[in-house]
């Protein structure tokens, strides 16, 4: 990293997924570094490359930047390249910097960015799931939080706060094996095991996971499963038109609570869990109704401790860009906490 990298220069922010790419600009010198009016979204299928799309974004907005942080849904190789999951673009940090005439491009995993977003959330960005108060980031010298997000897949990360400094623990925890706890869980696991072989948490806790759960529940009760999409299931559960869809989202909420509780035990995330991802605002009513917390806390000898761990839903629509903005602040050398 060059000597002038540690300066609060305007930074291009990119949140790159399989279907859409979102852009924004951060001013690391500001208390709220993400410039809200700078946010734009483009469809990946309509553009040939990240560079071409970024050039269009900069032309559309007229904004000037010196650096970029790209949060991509894929594994970063040596900090230099990433092949994005479900996306035809292959990205090189150095080639992107040269093509856009930038001082540097920093590639990060999309869930590393989502985890860092926690440091900048405020007010209506968060909704409590349960009765416990929202945690305060940086309140103690040592804090550990879990971040878990069902969307296209299941993302899992950790946020470590140590003596005022933040760092992210990147994991592939969504691919950990599903642990069945109830007779219903066991029946679901048996059905999905015959269909897929090994069953990960992601097979149940994501958009397609809703469909898998619906199919399994239909099989369990002897009903014929309809060819529903995730949005069909949640819509029918919301309007009460399909009892099996309602049971599906209730079951999803319970299993999600169990998975989130296991993450607390695994990471030692006693300070709280943040629920993120595109499904969270849609499923929030069912998460709030009790089954999520009930199974979150049902950890045997650790129940008393789990009852003291707060869970909260991230409602901010752009956690990827917000987390990239937090990383831009850190790279500028300015303090992220206590701003």
User: Are 71 and 112 in contact, with CB atoms under 8 Å apart?
Assistant: yes
Provide φ and ψ at 188, rounded to 5°: -65, -45
Answer yes or no: is pLDDT of 160 > 80. Answer: yes
The per-residue pLDDT for 111 is 86
Tokens of 213: 């759960």
Instruction: Starting at the earlier edge strand, list the strands of the sheet with 20-26.
Output: 40-43, 20-26, 11-16, 67-72, 104-109
User: Are 326 and 139 in contact, with CB atoms under 8 Å apart?
Assistant: no
What would the pLDDT profile of 274-307 be if each residue is shown by its tens digit?
999 889 999 999 999 989 999 999 999 999 999 9
Going by the DSSP 8-state scheme, the letter that residue 93 receives in this structure is H
User: Are 315 and 127 in contact, with CB atoms under 8 Å apart?
Assistant: yes
Express as a percent the part of the chain with pLDDT over 70. 97
Residues β-bridged to residue 154: 150
The per-residue pLDDT for 170 is 80
What would the pLDDT profile of 107-138 be if each residue is shown by its tens digit?
998 888 999 999 999 889 999 999 999 999 99
Using CA atoms, how far residue 319 sits from 34, 76, 95, 258, 293, in Å, is: 11, 19, 26, 24, 23
The per-residue pLDDT for 167 is 92
**Model-level pTM?**
0.91
Report the Cα–Cα distance between both ends of the chain, in Å, rounded: 25
Least Cα distance to 276 among 327, 328, 309, 311 occurs for 311
The per-residue pLDDT for 336 is 87
The per-residue pLDDT for 103 is 95
Q: How far is CA 264 from the centre of its chain?
A: 16
pLDDT band at 339 (very low <50, low <70, confident <90, very high): low
Of the two residues 152 and 253, the one the predictor is more confident about is 253
The per-residue pLDDT for 280 is 95
The per-residue pLDDT for 123 is 87
Least Cα distance to 26 among 41, 37, 18 occurs for 37
Give me the residue label for tokens 């909260």: 312
Task: Annotate 205-239 with DSSP letters as a single string.
Answer: SSHHHHHHHHHHHHHHHTPPPP---HHHHHHHHHH
The per-residue pLDDT for 109 is 86
Answer yes or no: is pLDDT of 1 > 50. Answer: no
Round the average pLDDT of the chain to a whole number and report it: 93
pLDDT band at 259 (very low <50, low <70, confident <90, very high): very high
User: Are 38 and 18 in contact, with CB atoms under 8 Å apart?
Assistant: no
């Amino acid at each position: 990293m060059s000597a002038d990298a540690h300066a609060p220069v305007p930074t291009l922010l990119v949140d790159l997924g399989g279907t859409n790419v979102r852009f924004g600009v951060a001013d690391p010198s500001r208390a709220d570094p993400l410039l809200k009016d700078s946010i734009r979204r483009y469809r990946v299928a309509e553009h040939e490359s990240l560079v071409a799309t970024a050039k269009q974004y900069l032309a559309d907005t007229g904004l000037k930047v010196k650096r970029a942080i790209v949060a991509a849904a894929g594994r970063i190789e040596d900090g230099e390249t990433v092949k994005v999951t479900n996306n035809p673009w292959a990205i090189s940090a150095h080639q992107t910097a040269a093509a856009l005439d930038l001082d540097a491009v920093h590639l990060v995993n999309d869930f590393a960015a989502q985890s860092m977003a926690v440091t900048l959330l405020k007010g209506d960005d968060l909704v409590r799931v349960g009765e416990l108060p929202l945690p305060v980031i940086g309140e103690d010298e040592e804090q550990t939080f879990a971040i878990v997000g069902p969307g296209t897949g299941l993302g899992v990360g950790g946020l470590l706060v140590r003596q005022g400094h933040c760092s992210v623990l990147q994991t592939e925890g969504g691919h950990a094996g599903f642990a069945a706890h109830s007779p219903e869980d066991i029946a679901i696991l048996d059905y999905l095991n015959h269909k897929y072989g090994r069953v990960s948490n992601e097979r149940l806790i994501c958009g397609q996971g809703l469909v898998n759960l619906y199919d399994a529940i239909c099989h369990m009760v002897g009903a014929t499963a309809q060819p529903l999409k995730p949005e069909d299931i949640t819509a029918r559960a919301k309007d009460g038109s399909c009892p099996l869809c309602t049971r599906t989202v209730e079951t999803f909420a319970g299993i999600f609570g169990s998975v989130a509780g296991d993450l607390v035990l695994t990471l030692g995330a006693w300070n709280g869990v943040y629920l993120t991802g595109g499904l969270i605002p849609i499923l929030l009513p069912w998460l709030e109704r009790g089954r999520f917390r009930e199974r979150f806390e049902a950890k045997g000898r650790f129940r008393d401790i789990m009852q003291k761990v707060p869970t909260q839903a991230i409602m901010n629509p752009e956690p990827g860009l917000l987390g990239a903005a937090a990383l831009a602040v850190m790279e500028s050398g300015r303090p992220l906490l206590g701003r």
